[in-house]
Chain A
Amino acid sequence: MNIENIKSQFPIFSKKINGKPLVYLDSSNSSQKPISVINRLDNFYKNEFSNIGRSIHSLSVNATNKFDETRVSVKKFINANSKEEIIFTKNATESINLIASTFGQQNIKKGDEILITELEHHSNYVPWHYLRESKGAVIKFAPINDDGDIIIGELEKLISTKTKIIAVTHLSNVTGTIVPVKEIIDIAHKKNIPVLVDGCQSAPHLKIDVKDLDCDFYAISGHKVYGPTGVGILYAKKKWLEQLPPYIGGGGMISEVKKDRISYAQLPEKYEAGTMATAEVVAFNESIKFMESIGIDNLVSHERELTNYALEKLKNINSVNVIGNPKNKAGVISFTIKGVHPHDIATILDEDAVAIRAGHHCCQILHEKLKLTATARASFGIYNTKEDIDILCKAIENCRKVFDLK
């Protein structure tokens, strides 16, 4: 696999930031886009644009077909049973909100319990908090250990007869922990509890097989998987999508509308009200093709090599502390430098065109647990190289110099 060749497919890397070549280490936040995705968007708007599903004319028929082709690609990409199990949303956040809202409306009563973990992103906590407010649900947090791994035994102990759903991330956006979700799903299913997996971080970094996991719900953000913004995916087992009430109401999601009654459309349209991000969904097909052209196994091994290389190099820099040491770790490295606040780190690194993120990364529960207010985070994508890590380490040395650290 030739990374330089892959990198050359991303136009942004021909740009200079502060006069220097961009070292983009913020892919956990959002990935850069390959030219094929950008061209597809451009071409669709220039030559093929029409709204989908509503008109008889040729453009609309073509757009509808293209939209559907992406759905079929996603189904294959995550190994779902049928394309009706793939719902397009705005992002993973909306996917989780959709389930929290509809599942909660139907299945959560006062005192019922929702089990999440201390690793969760705010997007897999806040939607459940709404049910705490509106229904009087109880939210429990499965604890993590000092390494950043969920303590499965403790999670198991927190399951009670009142537990109605478990929601857990597949990959932490702070510690890079790869969570053994299959094990958690097995435990939950033995007690007939459905599981939602937040796959926002895992989709660009791991092989996703929803059939093998047997998860009930899986949420993905397209923009983190080399795709356009505005495309999210909700995978849900068909039985749930059939059983749960609709979410957003409006055009496209109805079957028949009368003054005294309304019936809803079949799947997947039941959950896709209003005009969707048509061009973006069409272009997202190119993102999947891009991922497949690399091969998920190649991608995993490249990112693992980068992560190990980075961890080894960071270990040798005085005063750098890497957050967490999980059993299985993906290309997400949060760190602190003793004596330098993460925001100062980010400003100084930016001077060398090294783009990292600083803050709590939408994980205040996790940061509180780690007794930190903020961390700096370098996260990798397929386009990163060992040279990027070398430049990162040099920029960190520069931080130490600016702050006169010994």
Chain B
Amino acid sequence: MDLKELYQDIILEHGKSPRNFGKCNGHNHTAKGYNPLCGDKVEVYLKLNNKKNVDEITFEGSGCAISMASTSIMTELVKGKSLEVAKKIIDEFLNMIKSGSAMKTKDLSEDQKTKIMSLSGVKQYPMRVKCATLSWHTLVSALDGNKIEINTEKED
């Protein structure tokens, strides 16, 4: 596989300048994620409103280009979505990374789908899958209001 398929421009660009980075004001849900194999850490901050819509989503952390880009794109796609839709997007993303299935959801624009599909090259690099998925698992934990830190080595 060509490295360019993994390190697409959009990934490099998001990796270098991640969107929605930092703590957002008024966040009421947070969760932490940790990959003990490399020491990468991420913390996701959510502001859910009364109707359970994601008003704000930001993150802090450090990691490789794949993990930073994946987290950055995640925050862009989930912002403004309902809890239910957000979970559907997460499920489809995790399936895409694991089995290569396409993103079919109607809740994302074609542009957004293209953007997230740029991460599909990761499935060719089994050692890097966790880089792409850590923040997404962490987001699930934040949405559910779990207090347990996500650990890539303790997934079921």
Contact = CB atoms under 8 A, between A and B. Distances in A.
A binds B: yes
Q: Which of A342, A343, A367 has the most CB of B within 10 A?
A: A343
Contacts of A402: 3-4, 7, 12
A356 interface: no
Contacts of A360: 38-39
Nearest to B9: A404
Q: Which of A344, A348, A351, A360 has the most CB of B within 10 A?
A: A344
Interface string B29-57: 00000000111110000000000000000
A341 B61 CA distance: 13
B38 A358 contact: yes
A28 B18 CA distance: 35
B39 A341 contact: no
A123 to B, nearest CB: 16
A339 B16 contact: yes
Contacts of B62: 373
A374 B128 contact: no
Given A359-B39, A374-B38, A347 B16 contact: no
A373 B36 CA distance: 10
B66 interface: yes
A351 B65 CA distance: 17
Nearest to A372: B39
Contact of B128 (A340, A343, A359): A343
Given A348-B3, A402-B7, A404-B12, A343 B64 contact: yes
A343 B12 CA distance: 14
Contact of B131 (A343, A351, A367): A343
Interface string B101-125: 0000000000000000000000001
Contacts, number: 48
B62 to A, nearest CB: 6
What is the size category of the interface that chain A forms with chain B?
10 to 19
Contacts of A403: 7, 12, 65
Nearest to B13: A404
Nearest to A364: B39
A340 B39 contact: no
Interface in A372-397: 373-374
Contacts of B40: 373-374
A373 B3 contact: no
Nearest to A343: B64
B94 interface: no
Interface string B1-27: 001101100001000100000000000
B80 interface: no
Given A360-B38, A367-B39, A404-B12, A341 B6 contact: no
Contact of A347 (B6, B37, B63): B6
A374 B66 contact: no
Contacts of B4: 402
A340 B66 CA distance: 11
Contact of A344 (B37, B39, B41, B64): B64
A359 B3 contact: no
Given A347-B6, A348-B3, A373 B65 contact: no
B65 A340 contact: yes
Contact of A373 (B7, B39, B131): B39
A360 B41 CA distance: 13
Nearest to A373: B39
A104 B79 CA distance: 55
B20 to A, nearest CB: 19
Given A348-B3, A402-B7, A403-B12, A359 B65 contact: no
A402 B4 CA distance: 8
Given A359-B39, A364-B39, A403-B65, A351 B3 contact: yes
A243 to B, nearest CB: 38
For the complex of A and B, the 5 pairs showing the least CB-CB separation, nearest first, are: A341-B64, A373-B39, A343-B64, A344-B64, A359-B38
Interface of A: 339-344, 347-348, 351, 358-360, 364, 367, 373-374, 402-404
Interface of B: 3-4, 6-7, 12, 16, 37-41, 62-66, 125, 127-128, 131
26 contacts: A339-B16, A340-B65, A341-B65, A342-B38, A342-B64, A343-B38, A343-B66, A343-B131, A344-B7, A344-B65, A344-B66, A347-B3, A347-B6, A347-B127, A348-B7, A358-B38, A359-B37, A359-B38, A360-B38, A360-B39, A364-B39, A373-B39, A373-B40, A373-B62, A402-B4, A402-B12
Given A367-B39, A373-B62, 15 more contacts: A341-B65, A344-B7, A344-B64, A344-B66, A347-B125, A348-B7, A351-B3, A358-B38, A360-B39, A373-B38, A373-B40, A374-B38, A402-B7, A402-B12, A403-B65
